[in-house]
Amino acid sequence: MKRIGILTAGGDTPALNATIAGAVHRANQLRVEVSGIIKGFSGLLNPQVPHVQLNPLFHSIPELDPTRGGTILGASRDYVNSDDTEMLSHVADRLGRLKIDGLVCVGGDGTLNGMQALSNHIPVVLTPKTIDNDLGLNYPDEATEWFREPSEGPRGYTEKKRPGRDFRLDEMVNYVTPGYATAVYVSSQSIERIRTTAESHRRIAIIEVMGRDSGMIALGTSYGQPDIILVPESPVEPDPLVERVLTILDKQKHAVLCVSEGIVDIEGRSLGAVTASKDPAGNQVYTGAADAIKRLLVERLGDAFFTHKRRNESADAAIFVRKVGHTQRGGRPILFDRFYASQLGGKAVDLLLQGAHNCVATLQFRDGNFALDSLDANKLRDRWGIIHARPLSPSLYDPRRFFPSPKGIEYLRTIFTNALGVDDVESIRHLFDTGKLTHPYESVNVDINKRIQRLDTLR
Ligand code: F6P
């Protein structure tokens, strides 16, 4: 292979540039050219395929900085529809005209589903990324546990999963995904910062973290020591929750709850999806999980409880809601993410050059160490070919204590004990540089724009 393409699809994460940098570094060593496709699959759907040469003369371009969050290539939630054969042949033709012999897609489960269609036309390898940490399996045979149940609705069925089996942590397929560690770093700090206000004003703080239908980010946020963690995989039961909140209030006069955006009630209905909107890839957009928990507590505890305890303050005023939001997805990646993202980027290039096809570069945990590996993408697919997000295993979360189980703590420990590097702490030193007051922000997009090339569409 003389030239490969790389694209970053789906939501951004802090570790994408590190992945691209790792891939380009390895390609430089192997004397392979790398074209970066602008804006994920959207770039391939555009007849001009805007792209950037990332390693002219086998040197990485200076904009490619692994410590910079986001992606210099841009990202989008567009994907290639496997039913649109005409579009697929256009995309294959465009890749041919760019002389791209193989493609690295940096993405999550949605990207992998989208990549399947392309895999019949060109060798493709996925390099995992997602702050949600839901790309992979809890154990190798997990994909066989999905079944379809007839239901009313446009598709005529609902996808469900049989209860999983017990497993050892070293059985997990793709143990952890770059982007997750930085998201947890940010969300844990947010909990610590909001805690002091809740503590001082004797309030209940409900903090919502991302993760879609996976509770992994919420689980990791236990490093910020919230009093209660709610995850989508464990439906919210109002009575035990209210009882727990009351016990905590009684003891410490305030409470901090960390709520995953995808939490559901005991009927499995999403508490956060107050609007039925979907993003371009068909994912439910979650907007109000923390608000739903606030409503529940306001209703159950009532004004009288707070008026009595807090000198006439209403329940509404005593309970406040904050979303960590996109701050957990952006900014400088911490050491764990930078290091393993770049390793996985390099691994993807090796895989392509070894002739691998439609596979995933994975990060495994074996014998107490992280190791790179790869997996045939088919192993992640259920019997109908769908790749599902990995659910947080019930064995990692204790719903009675609303906190990670001992196995959950062990899982987090393996990732986070050495996740921060000295330079992560050092980087804060520059926050108050006076130059920042006198110089406007310089976007990398300005420099990348100067490098963008396009296919001639008149041909
Ligand atoms: O999948 C990553 C993620 O950050 C989810 O945790 C979240 O629900 C979603 O993306 C938000 O997407 P967007 O930035 O498109 O609103």
Q: Residue 94 is part of a domain; what is its CATH number?
A: 3.40.50.450
The per-residue pLDDT for 306 is 85
Shared-domain flag, residues 131 and 158: no
Per DSSP bridges, beta strands 33-37 and 51-53 are antiparallel
Is residue 310 in a domain? yes
Gap between the Cα atoms of 256 and 66, Å rounded: 34
Contact 365, 336 (CB under 8 A): no
Q: How high is the mean pLDDT of the chain? A: 94
Q: Mean pLDDT throughout 252-257? A: 97
Give the range among 144-153, 188-197, 340-349 with minimum mean pLDDT: 144-153
The per-residue pLDDT for 372 is 98
336 contacts: CB under 8 Å, gap ≥ 6:
181, 182, 415, 416, 418, 419, 420
Instruction: Give the H or E element holding residue 320.
Output: strand 319-323
Shared-domain flag, residues 323 and 204: yes
Statement: residue 229 has pLDDT above 60: yes
Domain extent, residue 162, equals: 142-171
368 contacts: CB under 8 Å, gap ≥ 6:
414
Quickly tell me which residue has 């410590």 as its tokens. 67
Confidence of residue 313 (pLDDT cuts 50, 70, 90): confident
CA distances from 371 to 10, 130, 168, 366 (A): 25, 19, 16, 7
The values of phi and psi at residue 52, to 5°, are: -130, 135
Q: Which residue from 13, 113, 135, 329 has its CB within 8 A of the most atoms of ligand 1, so it is best to mutate?
A: 329
The per-residue pLDDT for 110 is 85
Is residue 271 in a domain? yes
User: Could you tell me which of 386, 398, 438, 415 has the C-alpha nearest to residue 148?
Assistant: 386
The response to whether residue 129 sits with its C-beta less than 6 Å from ligand 1 reads no
The response to whether residue 279 sits with its C-beta less than 6 Å from ligand 1 reads yes
Shared-domain flag, residues 109 and 152: no
Shared-domain flag, residues 8 and 110: yes
Statement: residue 276 has pLDDT above 60: no
Instruction: Give the H or E element holding residue 353.
Output: helix 335-353
Instruction: Catalogue the E-assigned strands of 9-80.
Output: 33-37, 51-53
Shared-domain flag, residues 347 and 367: yes
Gap between the Cα atoms of 71 and 107, Å rounded: 12
Gap between the Cα atoms of 365 and 175, Å rounded: 6
pLDDT tens-place string over residues 198-214:
999 999 999 999 999 99
Shared-domain flag, residues 192 and 271: yes
Statement: residue 311 has pLDDT above 70: no
3 contacts: CB under 8 Å, gap ≥ 6:
32, 33, 34, 35, 98, 99, 100, 101
Q: Which residue from 112, 182, 212, 279 has its CB within 8 A of the most atoms of ligand 1, so it is best to mutate?
A: 212
Shared-domain flag, residues 7 and 133: yes
Give the range among 4-13, 74-83, 446-455 with minimum mean pLDDT: 74-83
Shared-domain flag, residues 340 and 452: yes
Is residue 58 in a domain? yes
pLDDT tens-place string over residues 160-192:
999 999 999 999 999 999 999 999 999 999 999
Shared-domain flag, residues 50 and 115: yes
Report the separation in Å between the CA atom of 208 and the middle of ligand 1, taken as the mean of its atom positions: 13
Confidence of residue 101 (pLDDT cuts 50, 70, 90): very high
The response to whether residue 211 sits with its C-beta less than 6 Å from ligand 1 reads yes
Token pair listed for 279: 């993003």
Instruction: Pick the more confident residue, 341 or 313.
Output: 341
**Which residue puts its alpha carbon closest to atom 10 of ligand 1?**
11
Nearest-atom index, ligand 1, CA of 329: 4
Counting every residue, how long is the chain?
459
pLDDT tens-place string over residues 24-55:
999 999 999 999 999 999 999 999 999 999 99
Domains identified in the chain, total number: 3
Gap between the Cα atoms of 441 and 443, Å rounded: 6
Q: Is 39 strand, coil or helix?
A: coil
CA of residue 430 relative to chain centroid, distance: 27
Shared-domain flag, residues 56 and 108: yes
369 contacts: CB under 8 Å, gap ≥ 6:
none
Contact 98, 37 (CB under 8 A): no
The per-residue pLDDT for 274 is 59
Per DSSP bridges, beta strands 3-8 and 33-37 are parallel
Is residue 89 in a domain? yes
Statement: residue 122 has pLDDT above 90: yes
Q: Is 329 strand, coil or helix?
A: helix
Percent of the chain with pLDDT over 90: 85
Statement: residue 241 has pLDDT above 70: yes
| DSSP assigned state of 204 | E
